[in-house]
């Protein structure tokens, strides 16, 4: 497993291709990717990424905000407290999919229904975010992670985006994460002690999207200007679906 962790870290940080290679936005598609939970503590909640694909040029990259260094001093305790430094990184889509197939974790894609201006804004923002001086952020387990960063990109760059708040789960942060910790009793116990009373707050729809599956559901039910859904039907990628 240590070998796999090392490969994953190298995999996500080595591939950085500037999106300035994209010419025009007409045939660009932007998707939300949601990866099924894994078996390790850092992967049990799942993962999100943004796929940007241009058929005419062959540009096809996945951008994700979940990259961190396993060699970080105090890694485990920092992770459980939600205080690890994280970065955005990029990888070619086929290699991203290969890794998740290898780990036997499914990947669900939701293609976003965007106009050319919205696509351009998202591309430009991620390009800016990929600059060395902008890549690292102060991760927060509930408030600022690989899912909330993607949520904020959609919020800030899709005109008239309306989230269906009537579908909020009305669960607390603690109740939500326990859904993913049920097979790890010692981890569940340790996290219970660390996260404290703030985790017992009932979440809003926006807040519950700190979990990738919850973000995917919120996006599935979101609309543009309350009329048009922002995604078509979900589609599964890879072998393990």
What's residue 24's pLDDT?
62
Residue 181 has what pLDDT? Answer: 92
Contact in structure between 130 and 63 (CB atoms under 8 Å): yes
Which pLDDT tens digit goes with each residue over 118-174?
Answer: 999 999 999 999 999 999 998 888 999 999 999 999 999 999 999 999 999 999 999
Rg (CA), the chain: 17
Q: Is the pTM of this model over 0.95?
A: no
pLDDT recorded at residue 192: 83
Contact between 90 and 71 (Cβ < 8 Å): no
Half-sphere exposure of 202 (CA within 13 A, CB side): 4
pLDDT score recorded for residue 123:
96
* Residues of the chain below pLDDT 70: 1-25, 70-72, 75-83, 238-241
Please give the structure tokens belonging to residue 233: 């039907």
CB atoms within 10 A of CB 214: 24
Strand order across the 107-111 sheet: 136-138, 85-92, 59-67, 47-54, 28-35, 107-111, 235-237
């Amino acid at each position: 497993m240590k070998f796999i962790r090392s490969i994953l870290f190298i995999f996500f940080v080595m591939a950085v291709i500037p999106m300035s290679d994209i010419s025009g936005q007409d045939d660009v598609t932007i998707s939300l990717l949601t990866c099924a939970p894994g078996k390790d503590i850092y992967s049990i909640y799942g993962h999100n990424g943004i796929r940007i694909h241009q058929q005419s040029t062959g540009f096809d990259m996945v951008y994700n905000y979940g990259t961190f260094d396993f060699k970080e001093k105090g890694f485990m305790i920092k992770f459980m407290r939600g205080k690890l430094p994280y970065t955005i990184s990029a990888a070619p889509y086929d290699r991203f999919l290969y890794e998740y197939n290898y780990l036997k974790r499914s990947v669900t894609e939701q293609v976003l229904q965007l106009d050319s201006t919205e696509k351009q804004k998202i591309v430009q923002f991620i390009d800016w975010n990929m600059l060395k001086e902008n890549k690292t952020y102060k991760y927060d387990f509930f408030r600022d992670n690989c899912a909330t960063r993607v949520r904020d990109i959609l919020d800030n760059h899709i005109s008239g985006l309306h989230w269906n708040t009537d579908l909020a789960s009305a669960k607390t942060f603690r109740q939500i994460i326990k859904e993913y910790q049920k097979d790890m009793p010692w981890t569940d116990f340790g996290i219970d002690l660390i996260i404290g009373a703030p985790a017992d707050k009932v979440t809003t729809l926006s807040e519950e999207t700190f979990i990738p599956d919850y973000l995917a559901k919120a996006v599935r039910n979101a609309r543009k200007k309350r009329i048009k859904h922002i995604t078509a039907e979900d589609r599964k990628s890879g072998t393990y679906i």
